[in-house]
Amino acid sequence: MATVELTKENFDRTVSENPFVLIDFWAGWCRPCLQFAPVYEKAAQDHPDLVFAKVDTEAQQELAAAFQITSIPTLMIVRDQVAIFSQPGALPAAALTDLIGQARALDMDEVRAKIAESEPSAGPAADPRPDETPGTPQP
Catalytic residues: 30, 33
- The answer to whether 90 touches 36, Cβ cutoff 8 Å, is yes
Q: How many other β-carbons are positioned within 10 Å of the β-carbon of residue 44?
A: 20
Task: Give the ranges where the chain is alpha helix by DSSP (H).
Answer: 11-17, 31-46, 61-66, 93-105, 108-118
Across 61-83, b (16+ Cβ under 10 Å) vs e yields eebbeebebeebbbbbbbbbeee
- The answer to whether 32 touches 90, Cβ cutoff 8 Å, is yes
